[in-house]
Amino acid sequence: MINNNPKKLIAFDINSTKEIELSLIADNKYIFTPKKDEKVIDIKLSGSLEEQEDVNQEYQVEFSQTDDGFTMMTVNGTSYPVEILANRQNEYELLVNGVGYSFSIETPFSMQRKKMLLAQAKESPVMQLKAPIPGTVVEVLVQAGDVVKSGDTLLVLEAMKMQNAILANIKGRIRKIYVKQGDSVSQRDLLIEIERE
Amino acid sequence: MKNKKIKSILIANRGEIAVRIAKTAKKMGIKAVGVRTQKEPDAFYLSEMDYTLDFPEQEKGAIPEFLDIENLVLLAKKNKISALHPGYGYLSENARLAVRCTEEGIIFIGPTPRVIQDLGDKVIAKEIAAKGKVPMFGGSAGVVETLEDAQKIAGQIGYPLIIKACSGGGGRGMRIVRCAKELRQMYNSAVSEAQTAFNDPRVFIEKYLENPKHIEVQIVADIFGNVLHLGERECSIQRKHQKLLEEAPSPALNEDLRKKMTSAAVALAKAAGYVSLGTVEFLLDKDKNFYFMEMNTRVQVEHPVTEMITGLDLIELQIRIANGEALPLTQKDVKLNGWAIECRINAEDVQANFSPCTGTITALRLPQGKGIRIDQGVVVGSKITPFFDSMIAKLITHGANRSETIAKTFEALRQFQVRGIKTTIPFAKAVMNNEVFQSGNFDTSFIEKDLTSVVFREKDEELFAALLSINNYLEQNAPAQHQVENHDAWTLKNKIYNM
């Protein structure tokens, strides 16, 4: 069965610092053969949306379960163990060979919107600092109103008996502090807001 | 075994080191006794024991089981166990445990309480090192009691300097201070961490060496005054003073320097009146001057690399010494053969700043082959909880020379697969693949300076990930034909467990 769907999809590398480091556009052309669940995704690999016509390569993708519990993904003859860690709507967190990757699947339209939002966030005057790991706040070294520069230690977080310094990532003024000494925080809890100067 | 006093050993530890100790005990015809805690009642290490004992039920908020001296000693005494092995970490360098064992007629497998106490106190350890004429850094003459004293010493020796907990070790309770502005915060946090971590707020100050190499010498000494060294280990691949990868021998040493450093280590052990297995840690600067840092009075995590190149069983030597036997070999008999590398496999998310990772191991594939050894603390189904250390296994490889061993380690890491948690395997691969590491010319700044990516990515890995997400997205959004509940056996087990 060939399913020809004109809708294009883009895999967008969430962790990439560049706007698009790798974009994959699937023509969503599936080929199912009834014997084994073999799928062919027609992929166009390109550096940006405009250059999408440049590369047009076909990847043969297969999945198999091993007896010892791994999911192997084979692409054009190469096999790696893969794992989907999390999937929230169009966002994916995956492991290939134990290395983590984050992708969001976008249509050309949502991609444009995403790029716009990213650009806006970059210019946003307030930077929110979140807890990178769950832990206990050992010490808060700044007060609201303090002027800090990138690299300054703002607070110390203790997790698994290790003390971790939380540093400022921009130059600015402390707008608000959401935690105090002794507080337990979960991952991604808001710690401090810095106003860009 | 001649004069067999040790008939059974209570292993006051968990994980891979408990398995490691049990292995040697069983080989020697000694009963290995494990301690079962409520935090991990079906842990893998328990299945490797001859007997297991339940740790007495605890109230909430009690001290962790493997730090509870009285209950551990009582457990050994009540069950008529002849000896206690503390492993590493936990109580392994606690003189009080050694004292309590002796008082209750239990053989403590380790040095005497006095030696543990002396070497555990960094200030006294420096006095001993001076007696053995071992080179050391300048710094405070003793404990630094107040911030004002700290400022005074800082004025004398200059920056950078390091504040260390007198009872510290294993990279904890240390603060590096690079300028006067940082001194107040660093001094206060060092004191408070020393208090919480070691129950001893005393700290001292030393000149700090930027980017040294970390090299340690394995010592073994019996009660008859025989002190031998088993060569050195290179431990410079560290992150926040935590070792991640070790090798033996060190590519930084030639025969002359090896002789100097091992002789200094032996002299220090003799000056301390040392008996048992121990490790003298040194820092080496760019001009190949070495300085004494500390002596660890226990078995090290990285002891297998020494075992691989010497062919000796260090745990067996440790048990025999505790049993009152003389060392079965002399310095002449110690032959260093080939090269060995150990990679610590930790349940950590390397890409998220090495943050600890919890979960259940749902699949595990271990590398196999000649010269490959795995010391494991987990099997399929093991739960990684926040209660314990993140190390789940060690991969140790042995080859004829360094480059052969690096290649072998890299291949073994490629075969090593873990599902269910993130591990440091991709990190270890990145180290093996790094040219600076391969050159042997690296120091403790390696991860910061020379490692361009903390993970090694296989060819087209990112493409695989993108394809996988697109494929899954298309499947999810395809018209549903039938719904299958996505429950594997381990998820179900956890659900039942939590019911």
Whether the CB of A64 is below 8 Å from some CB of chain B: the reply is no
Confidence of residue A58 (pLDDT cuts 50, 70, 90): low
| Residue A158 and residue B196 in contact, taking contact as beta carbons nearer than 8 Å | no
- Poorest-pLDDT segment among A33-42, A139-148, B202-211, B368-377: A33-42
In angstroms, the CA B37 to CA B255 distance is 47
A174 min Cα distance to partner chain B (Å): 19
**pLDDT top residue among A180 and B478:** A180
C-alpha A76/C-alpha A83 separation (Å) is: 19
* Helix (H/G/I), strand (E/B), else coil: A102: strand
Min distance B264 CA to chain A CA atoms (Å) = 32
- Return the axis-axis angle of helices B113-120 and B95-103, rounded to nearest 10°: 170
- Whether B451 has a pLDDT exceeding 80, the answer reads yes
Q: Which helix (H) or strand (E) holds A130?
A: strand A126-130
Domains and their CATH numbers in chain A: 2-121 (3.30.700), 126-196 (2.40.50.100)
A83 touches B: beta carbon within 8 Å: yes
Residue of B240, B362, B462 with shortest CB distance to A22: B462
Residues of chain B with CATH 3.40.50.20: 8-109
Q: Which of B85, B117, B105 is nearest to B314 (CA)?
A: B85
- Counting Cα atoms < 13 Å in the Cβ hemisphere of B188 gives 8
Q: CB distance A96–B465 less than 8 Å?
A: yes
Supply the DSSP string of A163-188, one letter for each residue: EEEEEP-SSEEEEEE---TT-EE-TT
pLDDT at site A53 = 45
Give me the pLDDT at residue B128, please: 96
**What fold is seen in the domain B213-449?**
D-amino Acid Aminotransferase; Chain A, domain 1 (3.30.470)
DSSP for A15-61, please give it: T-SSS-S-EEEE--EEE--SSS--EEEEEEEESSSTTTTS--EEEEE
**ipTM score assigned to the predicted complex:** 0.85
What pLDDT is recorded for position A51?
44
Residues of chain B contacting A57 with CB distance shorter than 8 Å: none
CB contact under 8 A, B468 and A59: no
| Comma-separated ranges of CATH 3.30.1490.20 domains in chain B | 138-207
Measured between alpha carbons, how far apart are the two ends of chain A, in Å? 58
Judged by a CB distance cut-off of 8 A, whether residue A185 touches chain B is no
Residue of B nearest to A88 (CA): B473
Q: What is the mean pLDDT of residues B247-265?
A: 97
Q: pLDDT digit string (tens) for B384-396?
A: 998 899 999 999 9
B240 pLDDT more than 80: yes
Residue A23 is predicted with a pLDDT of 59
pLDDT band at B171 (very low <50, low <70, confident <90, very high): low
pTM of the full predicted structure?
0.84
Query: How many percent of chain B have pLDDT more than 90?
Result: 81
Q: How far is B439 from chain A (nearest CA, A)?
A: 26
Name every residue whose Cβ is closer than 8 Å to that of residue B157 and which is 6 or more positions away in sequence: B138, B139, B205, B207
What secondary structure letter does DSSP report for A5?
A: -
CATH 3.30.470.20 in chain B is located at: 213-449
Per residue in B26-70, pLDDT (tens digit) is 999 999 999 999 999 999 999 999 999 999 988 877 899 999 999
Architecture of the structural domain at B8-109: 3-Layer(aba) Sandwich (3.40)
**Range B138-207 classified under CATH 2.40.50.140:** no
pLDDT band at B479 (very low <50, low <70, confident <90, very high): low
Q: How far is B95 from chain A (nearest CA, A)?
A: 22
Kindly compute the dihedral angle of the four CA atoms of residues A104, A106, A111, A114, in this order, to the nearest 10 degrees: -40
Q: What is the mean pLDDT of residues B144-154?
A: 93
Separation of alpha carbons B139 and B163, rounded Å: 10
User: Cβ–Cβ of A139/B473 closer than 8 Å?
Assistant: no
Q: Give the model confidence (pLDDT) of A61-105 as tens digits.
A: 888 899 999 999 998 889 999 999 999 888 899 999 999 988 888
Q: Give the Cα separation of B230 and B216 in Å (integer).
A: 10
**Which A residues in the span 139-168 are in contact with B, Cβ-Cβ below 8 Å?**
139, 141, 153, 156, 159-164
Q: What is the mean pLDDT of residues B281-310?
A: 96
Interface test with B, best of A3, A96, A152, A162 (most B CBs within 10 A): A96
* Rounded-to-integer distance, Cα B164 and Cα B173, Å: 6
Q: State whether the Cα torsion B234-B238-B242-B244 is positive or negative.
A: negative
Catalytic residues of B: 298
